[in-house]
Amino acid sequence: MTTYHLIDSGDGEKLEQFAEFVLRRPDPQALYPKRLSIGEWEKADATFEIREGKGKWNKAREFPDTWVTQFDDLSFSTTLGSFKHVGVFPEQETNWKWLKETIAKSVAEGKKVSVLNLFAYTGGATLACLSAGAEVVHVDASQGIVDVAVKNTELSGLKEKPVRWIVDDVKKFVAREIKRGNKYHGIIMDPPAFGHGPKKEVWNIEEHLVPLIQDAKELLHSESLFFLVNGYSTGFSPLAYANNIESLTKRGGQVESGELSIPEKDGKRALPAGMFARWRSY
């Protein structure tokens, strides 16, 4: 059961349902007119507003500190977080389904699947991989964010599945894994435009992404299965991402790339929401 829906979008905003709560948030990709009336938008339970460079949630009703939103069999702790975030990125649902399908096929053939999830945030991709039968190494620079990911595995009934939680700078972790000789059947990365590691290590996507992708390729098992890169930075395009992993087609399979999007509830329109490139070995 899925309890998330994009109700409407437009004029730089999106109106979404997360379980029993309707939220109104800014979205710079909603560069077209709204379809619903202003009256419908004003029924939102909470609205994120930016004034004088500062943002805050204006609530029309009482909210718990957290509540649960479901995407099929995956459950997420949801909250009114800072800078409009709520703890889950719904546009990733298409990637979660792709990961499940890819992993489940190999597991059904009796194969072990190990996955490295970098910049793993609250664990959407980790949950998808675990639910399909993979073992996962989940890496993120924030202890607090990793704690939420652990909670999400519990909410999704995946607490006993094989996962290692790593709080570390992604670049440093990958470099150490290369030295250790560890290998993975699948690699996922969802890098931010800018960020900091737990020891204030600097991440700049324009400087660091291409070398990281090249290093991560060294961690792929000889029987590797997939490589997935997500992105939101305007400095890149789906084709640029695809070109960085195109060399993997020498192992077989193909690379596909495109826009991530969220379909509106009536299915007639979709909100653009990032980009992806992914390789699969078959």
Residues 37-81: pLDDT tens digits?
999 999 999 999 988 778 899 999 999 999 999 999 999 999 999
Rg from Cα positions in the chain: 19
Cβ pair 225, 106 in contact under 8 A? yes
CATH 2.60.40.1180 in the chain is located at 4-84
Inform me whether the pLDDT recorded for 194 exceeds 90. Answer: no
Strands (E), 44-201: 46-51, 54-59, 67-71, 74-78, 114-118, 135-140, 163-167, 186-189, 194-196
90-280 adopts what CATH topology? Answer: Rossmann fold (3.40.50)
First to last CA, the chain: 30
Question: Quick one: average pLDDT of 185-194?
Answer: 92
What CATH number labels 4-84?
2.60.40.1180
- Taking the C-alpha atoms of residue 156 and residue 96, their distance in angstroms, rounded to an integer, is 14
Per-residue confidence band for 205, with pLDDT thresholds at 50, 70 and 90: confident
Cross-strand bridge partners of residue 167: 140
Q: Which residues contact 29 (CB under 8 A, 6 or more apart)?
A: 271, 272, 273
pLDDT the model gives residue 195: 80
pLDDT the model gives residue 106: 96
Inform me whether the pLDDT recorded for 173 exceeds 90. Answer: yes
Inform me whether the pLDDT recorded for 196 exceeds 90. Answer: no
CATH 3.40.50.150 in the chain is located at 90-280
Per-residue confidence band for 198, with pLDDT thresholds at 50, 70 and 90: confident
Question: Quick one: average pLDDT of 190-219?
Answer: 88
pLDDT the model gives residue 200: 80
Per-residue confidence band for 199, with pLDDT thresholds at 50, 70 and 90: confident
**Range in 37-51, 75-89, 153-167, 231-245 with the lowest mean pLDDT:** 231-245
Cross-strand bridge partners of residue 63: none
- Taking the C-alpha atoms of residue 74 and residue 86, their distance in angstroms, rounded to an integer, is 16
